[in-house]
Amino acid sequence: MPTAIFDTLQYAKKLKAAGFSEDQAEVLSSTQAALIEERLVTQQYLDLRLKELETSLKADIIKWVAGMLVAQAAIVATLVKLL
**What amino acid occupies position 22?**
E
Segments making up each domain of the chain, as ranges: 1-40
Higher confidence at residue 27 or residue 3? 27
Which residues have C-beta within 8 Å of that of residue 25, sequence separation ≥ 6? 11, 12, 13, 15, 16
Are 68 and 25 in contact, with CB atoms under 8 Å apart? no
Which residues have C-beta within 8 Å of that of residue 1, sequence separation ≥ 6? 42, 44, 45
Q: What is the mean pLDDT of residues 54-67?
A: 96
- Confidence band of 6 (pLDDT split at 50, 70, 90): confident
Q: What is the mean pLDDT of residues 36-64?
A: 92
The Cα 78–Cα 22 span in angstroms is 83
- Confidence band of 3 (pLDDT split at 50, 70, 90): low
Task: Tell whether the model's pLDDT for residue 4 goes beyond 90.
Answer: no
Give the pLDDT confidence of 70-81 residue by residue, as tens digits.
999 999 999 999
